[in-house]
């Protein structure tokens, strides 16, 4: 059992810096400050210190009125992920409050039969059971079109900037999800970004219903067009899930840009391994949350239904006690089997 001091240190050194960076949309200034102050490293070291003092069993945090448990062992991470969504639901109270700002009916915040039905629709549209999506050829064309323009822009201005990359990235995203007719509708993704910024505050920010209605109207206009070659043209009503797909592409864009930055200083031929390594070093989901739907037993302790389990991802990705390559760019781990030591 942790002490009140342990809980305070976890909140101050692990949870608050993670929240400050933005859990639904990143706050660039906060991310830069966190990096400059070394707060991610400090957070990893704090969890290591807790493990050294208390061992690897799940650690309950003393938060009045709630049950929070910090996962300390890789095998427990595997259990939480493998046993999702039952009994470890993805739809935690915090996620539900956050996504209520712009997507209250998506798979991520659903449970039971409702989740199963929505999940089936998602898997049908994304063709998760196929090795290659039927739209792969069109997606490749879209990417090549936009990358060609991006490279021309980079040559003209003398380099590849985040702003230039992000504009091209969102054109790709809108075309893939909604079709070519959405290519220039930057207002759609700008509105979504604003709503996501509000969602960062979850319970603490009032919902901007008029802005959400305008976003929904714009989105529905593109979905009703059902343009062939896009996810919107797959023959399903994806209105409930499209906002999630649009915002989830953000993490992939961040990982892609970081990979490009890494490759400018490291000559490595396996680009897929380089992408995986960038995500290991800077996980796009720094805090994984699950909420139990039934009592669960851990190392002789039973935690009640409604317990929120926390996985601080960087700790498992950058633990120098387990990983000799913890803080170095080592893409070969993804081709020689060493990444098996990493549960993330």
Question: pLDDT at position 186, please?
Answer: 97
- Tens digits of per-residue pLDDT, 229-286? 999 999 999 999 999 999 999 999 999 999 999 998 887 678 899 999 999 999 999 9
* DSSP label of 55: -
Q: CA 160, CA 287: separation in Å to the nearest integer?
A: 30
Q: Please state whether the predicted TM-score (pTM) of the whole model is above 0.75.
A: yes
Residue 20 belongs to what domain range? 4-341
Q: CA 328, CA 296: separation in Å to the nearest integer?
A: 37
Q: What is the mean pLDDT of residues 295-311?
A: 97
Q: State the CATH number of the domain containing residue 291.
A: 1.10.630.10
Question: pLDDT at position 344, please?
Answer: 42
Distance of CA 212 to the CA centre of its chain: 22
- Tens digits of per-residue pLDDT, 60-70? 998 898 999 99
- Tens digits of per-residue pLDDT, 69-109? 999 999 999 999 999 999 999 999 999 999 999 999 999 99
Which residues, 6+ apart, have CB-to-CB distance to 21 below 8 Å?
27, 30, 31, 34, 286
Helix (H) or strand (E) holding 303: strand 301-303
Please state, as a whole number, how many other Cβ atoms lie within 10 Å of the Cβ of residue 79.
Answer: 17
Count structural domains, the chain. Answer: 1
CA atoms within 13 A on the CB side of 67: 17
Residue 342: pLDDT above 60? no
Q: In what order do the strands lie in the sheet with 66-70?
A: 59-63, 66-70, 308-312, 287-292, 88-89
Residue 343: pLDDT above 50? no
Q: CA 40, CA 288: separation in Å to the nearest integer?
A: 15
Closest CA to 258 of 230, 236, 282: 282
């Amino acid at each position: 059992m942790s002490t009140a001091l342990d809980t305070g240190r976890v909140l101050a050194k692990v949870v608050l810096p993670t929240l400050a960076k933005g859990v639904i949309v990143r706050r660039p200034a906060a991310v830069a400050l966190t990096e400059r102050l070394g707060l991610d490293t400090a957070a990893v070291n704090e969890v290591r210190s807790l493990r050294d003092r208390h061992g690897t069993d799940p650690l309950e945090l003393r938060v009045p009125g709630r049950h929070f448990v910090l996962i300390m062992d890789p095998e427990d991470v595997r259990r939480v992920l493998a046993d999702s969504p039952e009994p470890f639901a993805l739809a935690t109270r915090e996620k539900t409050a956050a996504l209520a700002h712009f997507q209250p009916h998506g798979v991520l915040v659903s449970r039971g039969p409702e989740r199963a039905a929505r999940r089936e629709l998602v898997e049908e549209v994304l063709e998760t059971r196929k090795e290659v999506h039927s739209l792969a050829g069109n997606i490749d064309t879209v990417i090549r079109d936009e990358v060609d323009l991006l490279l021309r822009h980079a040559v003209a201005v003398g380099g590849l900037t985040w702003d230039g990359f992000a504009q091209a990235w969102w054109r790709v995203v809108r075309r893939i999800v909604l079709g070519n007719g959405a290519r220039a509708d930057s207002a759609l993704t700008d509105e979504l970004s604003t709503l996501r910024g509000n969602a960062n505050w979850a319970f603490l920010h009032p919902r901007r219903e008029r802005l959400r209605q305008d976003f929904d109207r714009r989105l529905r206009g593109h979905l009703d067009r059902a343009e062939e070659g896009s996810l919107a043209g797959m023959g399903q009503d994806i209105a409930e899930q499209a906002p999630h797909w649009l915002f989830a592409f953000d993490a992939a864009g961040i990982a892609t840009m970081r990979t490009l930055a890494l490759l400018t200083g490291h000559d490595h031929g396996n680009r897929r391994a380089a992408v995986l390594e960038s995500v290991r070093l800077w996980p796009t989901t720094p805090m994984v949350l699950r909420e139990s739907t039934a009592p669960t037993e851990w190392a002789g302790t039973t935690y009640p239904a409604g317990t929120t389990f926390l996985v601080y991802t960087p700790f498992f990705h950058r633990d120098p006690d387990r990983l000799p390559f913890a803080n170095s760019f080592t893409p070969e781990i993804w081709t020689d089997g060493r990444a098996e030591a990493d549960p993330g």
